[in-house]
Structure 1
Amino acid sequence: MAVEWVLGRCDPALLDLYGDQEQTDDYVADTDCSRMIDQRRMQKVLICQMSVLDSMISVLEGLECPRKLLTEPRPSNPDNKARARWKSVKAEVKAQVEEMESLISTLQAKVEQIYTKRQTLKQLVQEIEKKKEMSEQLEQRLQKAQRALRACEGQLSDLRVESETLLGYVDNWQVLKDELQGYVTATQEMLLYKIVSVSQSELCLELGPCQSDSYSNSPKLEPLKLSVTWSHDDRFRLQMRGGRAGIMEECFDGRMSQLRATLVEVTERFTSQKDMLAEIQALHDSFAIDWRPAERQLMFLKSASVICILDVEMGYPTAGQATLLSVRKDAQFIDTALLKPPKDNLSLTQWLVFLSSCTLI
């Protein structure tokens, strides 16, 4: 249908040459040329025969009786008039034949042109079909790209919302960091704080003794290591590590609003025990001891077979005492009443010196 439409737009007369079946178009031109050549040959024979017939009719018309033709002898040679007429007719026929051959050549050239144009139109139609298919494919790709673009826009919108939320978290972390820095600054007059490291979700501190105690004669106490971490759900986790000082390692969890009270509690607990912790830390360098902060008991290993346990009251050394709880030698408990210290209310250091030099155990 596309080829017929194009031929109709170019020249309606070409539709007759196109035919109903496209598969017969390739040999129509050759068939027409062969037929015209045969017709030309037949016409040459017919013209010669018609010339002879015309001559015969002219002779018959001049006879008075047909029998005279049978009785008269055959003429020797035709007259010049008939010969001239025959030559004229022959020349006319030859001119017509040449004209016919010229027309046939022209027609054949036009047929070849039409065939060439038809092939060109066929190629153009094929190219148009290919471009149409490409256009459909491009349309499908364009629709697919539009859908992908809409999906990306949706994801971008979600990421913007998420980024705004994260920026809000960052602001909250910054506020928390500033608040923690304020806590540190506010307590520096009472304690010696040292910030070890700071990240987006963790703050590491070292809690040392009071600045005024650094000039006293008491042993220097190792700092208490604190690690504060927080999460997105507005909660914190505080972990204590006491090292050789012997403070009980604990872990606190709660909401961020309770962090300040927790830091104050840890600070008060550390400062209230700083003298005892400093003494225990110093005893580690001279005696084989093991401090149990949960039971508030100090185990002294005098030898491989002698184990002494001391009980330390709350508030020691200012408001509490250190007493000998038990002595075990060779897996047998010894009566502590038999051990008479040089004086009452001995400190932990004095107890360990006494037990080390006691000959009863």
Structure 2
Amino acid sequence: MKTVRDVINKRPRHSAGDLKIKMPHKTPTALSVTNVLKRCDPTLPALCDGGEELDPAGEKLLFLQDRRRVQKVGWRQLFVLDSMMCELERVQSAQQLLTQPCPPQSEGEARGHWKALKVESRTTAEHTDELVDTLQKDIIDKRHKVKQLLQQLQAKKQQREDLQASVKEAQKALQTRDGQLTRLKAELEAELGQVDVWQHSREALQSYVAAVQEVAHVSLLSFNQSQVSLELRPHPPANTNLAFNELEPLKLSIIWSQDDHFTLQIDPASLAKQLQEDVSGRRGELSAALVEVMENYVGQADLLAEIQSLRSSFAIDWCPAQRVLVYLKSASILCHLEVQEGYPNDGAVRLRDVQRDGQPLNTDALQPRNPDGSLTDWLVFLCTNPLI
């Protein structure tokens, strides 16, 4: 048995396009349709009106607007039909349908409810658009931050690679330094062993030096890698009458050079400097040079003692190379006395010249009573002679 709903569902339905296509002219049927549409909605008859020729875009827009209006009418009709079907389903018989009063249908209330829903939908759409805009801005900001973070990450990666390269170089350098340190430790152990040998040699040499100093009257004043300072106190000769203790010790320095040579320098403040020039030679000649200096110093002990005593009374200067004693009598008078080898035992003293303001004077008349007198006699004679 068919119900009313099944009969209604089998009725043909028409779309807005069908209405517009099937009513190109104002026929009686079209007029009746227009009247029906006016009863439903005063704006619907415009769907059946013909218009001017439009371009494809305009036709498409008009078509979409018409379809929207038709859909609104269709939804309203479906709402009415659904309400009718619900009422028919509650009716048990046709007699009940005829006797039951019709429920009040407030079109204004339904329309107001529909408008309220429409406003709510529009508000929701606007709120949704605002949320979408906000989310888009947040997405753009987050994307910018992500780009910055990626750039920072790339910079950190590059920095990490640079640090890894630096660490590798430092490790290589550390390994190299470890190897050098190991080699230096081995060299240090070898040098320490050599130092022990040198220490034993030094102790032996110190004992030897102490014995030599005691026997040869030699004192070690100071030493370093390139210089040794000594003080010699030689024994007096057996045939000398000089109180040898009054003679000052002989101070000298031995300076070593890189070519295995030495230079024997006598202390400039020592009186012996006036009797002996500096001596140089090879290392093997050092002993002979020391013996020669000591013999010369001992051999001229009397001369040194006499010069040492005269220096406190006269302005004199001794030139050992020429064996000449220079006597400055005054600011303009200069006398030169020549001391022969072997003085005072064998040699004599002779007056070489006398100069006044750089000009030599006649010295024929300048002879002391004793021509073979000592240096002291000559200096006293020259100092007291009125001729000069």
Q: TM-score, length-normalised on structure 2?
A: 0.49
2:266 is aligned to 240
Residue of structure 1 equivalent to 2:88: none
Specify the alignment match of 1:333 in structure 2: 363
Task: Give the one of 264, 283, 294 matched to 1:267.
Answer: 294
Question: What is aligned with 1:193?
Answer: 219
**Residues 131 and 208 of structure 1, relative CA distance in 2, 3 Å threshold:** farther
- Judge conservation of contact 2:276–2:293 (CA < 8 Å) in 1: no
Matching of residues 1-361 of structure 1 within 5 Å: 46=69, 50=73, 91=113, 98=120, 102=124, 105=127, 109=131, 112-113=134-135, 115-137=137-159, 139-140=161-162, 143=165, 185=210, 186-193=212-219, 195=221, 197-198=222-223, 201-210=226-235, 217-218=243-244, 220-230=246-256, 236-243=262-269, 244-245=271-272, 247-248=274-275, 250-253=277-280, 259=286, 261-300=288-327, 307=335, 309-313=337-341, 315-317=342-344, 320-326=346-352, 328=354, 331-334=361-364, 341=370, 346-349=373-376, 352=379
CA distance in 2, matches of 1:94, 1:47: 21
Which protein is bigger by CA-based radius of gyration? Answer: 2
Instruction: Please tell me whether the aligned partners of residues 341 and 354 of structure 1 are also in contact (alpha carbons under 8 angstroms).
Output: no
Q: Cα distance 1:119–1:220, how it changes in 2: closer, same or farther (>3 A)?
A: same
CA distance in 1, matches of 2:204, 2:322: 36
Deviation at 1:264, TM superposition (A): 4.2
More displaced, 254-263 or 80-89?
80-89
Q: 1:135 to 1:311 in 2, by over 3 A?
A: same
Distance 2:75 2:312 in 1: 156
Question: Secondary structure of the residue that 2:296 maps to in structure 1?
Answer: helix
Helix, strand or coil at the partner of 2:274? coil
SS of the residue 1:333 aligns to: coil
How many residue pairs get aligned? The number is 284
CA pair 81-137 structure 1, distance change in 2 beyond 3 A: same
Shift, 1:282, TM fit: 1.6
How far, CA to CA, are the matches of 2:150 and 2:312 in structure 1?
Answer: 98
Structure-2 separation of matches of 1:179 and 1:258 = 23
* Superposition RMSD in Å: 5.6
Q: What is the CA distance between 1:294 and its match in structure 2?
A: 0.4
In structure 2, the CA distance between the partners of 1:137 and 1:253, relative to structure 1 (3 Å rule), is farther
Partner SS for 1:298: strand
Higher relative contact order (CA 8 A, sep 6+): 1
Closer, same or farther: CA 263–348 of 1 in aligned 2, 3 Å: same
Do 2:353 and 2:361's aligned partners in 1 also have CA atoms closer than 8 Å? Answer: no
Distance 1:274 1:131 in 2: 94
Answer yes or no: is the 8 Å Cα contact 1:207–1:224 preserved in 2. Answer: yes
Taking the aligned partners of 2:380 and 2:116, their CA distance within structure 1 comes to 157
Q: Taking structure 1 as reference, are residues 223 and 142 closer, same or farther at Cα in structure 2, changes over 3 Å only?
A: farther
Match of 1:30 in 2: none
The Cα shift of 1:324 comes to 2.4
Q: CA offset at residue 292 of structure 1?
A: 1.8
Percent of aligned positions with the same letter in both sequences?
Answer: 30
TM-score normalized by the length of structure 1: 0.52
Q: Give unpaired runs (5+ residues) of structure 1.
A: 1-41, 59-79
